[in-house]
Amino acid sequence: MRETGLKKNLACLSYKEKKQMIDDNNSKISISRQCELLDLSRSSYYFKEKDLTQEDYQLMNKIDEIFTSHPYYGTRRMSAVLRSKEHKIGRKKVRKYYQMLALEPIYPKMNLSKRNQAHKVYPYLLRDVKISYINQVFSSDITYIRLKQGFVYLVAIIDWYSRYVLSWSLSITLASDFCVEVLEEAIQRYGKPDIFNTDQGVQYTCGAFIAILQKNEIAISMDGKGRALDNVFIERFWRSLKQEKIYLFDLETVSQAKAAISEYIDFYNNVRLHQSLSYKTPKEVYFANININNKE
């Protein structure tokens, strides 16, 4: 049982995090054995990634802008669009950028998201489900936030009925821990939903994240193959955030990004009127319904 739990925890770590756990100066356990214990190949440990260039950052930012407006662009079309704008780039490199940016085109395809094949696949539970009250469905996703000389990742959780952004966090890596922290915060502050929906990415299928949902008896829903709009509400939030805030400034530091995002989410939740909410704010809708008995 202990060994199984250890393997689940290791599955939540990226290979970069595993590399950082290797002790080069350990005289008792060889590098080879440490790699074996961490389920990390020796080739991955010795592989040295090239630093990103200014051109890489410029291309990633351009891809992010295009994708935000056209989230159905796959790597083939994106590479064609970039070449039409006089960028010399092939599909293979675009695919690499998509992975770094955590982008997933919303069109029917064979493999919806990059997941750990050892993790359980959960069904999509929201087909033909009427969303009629708050805390019925929470949804989460991760997006890329550009900086002048780099980037960070943003994770957020949103209530489907009210569109209210419940919690969020920034991270410099795609490790699972910041997703787990945001989930814990949302449940602590707003209570547990009936259903929690995500994609099948490793951040959401890892043992630590799933354990919290199971402990709180929350039904787990994950986007299915060929389903284009399973996480549409948070995708719309990403588009609004970037087009109405992020793209208007040259953010230089993580602290600046955090301040800008905090300011926008406050505006989005408390001031911005939503046509789909009969021109009310998410805060008005969420807290007007806070005392409704969801089980009636």
For 166-212, the pLDDT digits (tens) are 999 999 988 889 999 999 999 999 999 999 999 888 899 988 999 99
pLDDT of 117 over the 80 cut: no
Q: What's 137-288's CATH class?
A: alpha beta
What are the domain boundaries of the chain? 2-46, 60-101, 137-288
pLDDT at 7: 54
Per-residue pLDDT tens over the stretch 255-275: 999 999 999 999 999 999 999
pLDDT at 291: 59
CA torsion sign for 251, 252, 254, 256 is: negative
| Rounded-to-integer distance, Cα 249 and Cα 11, Å | 37
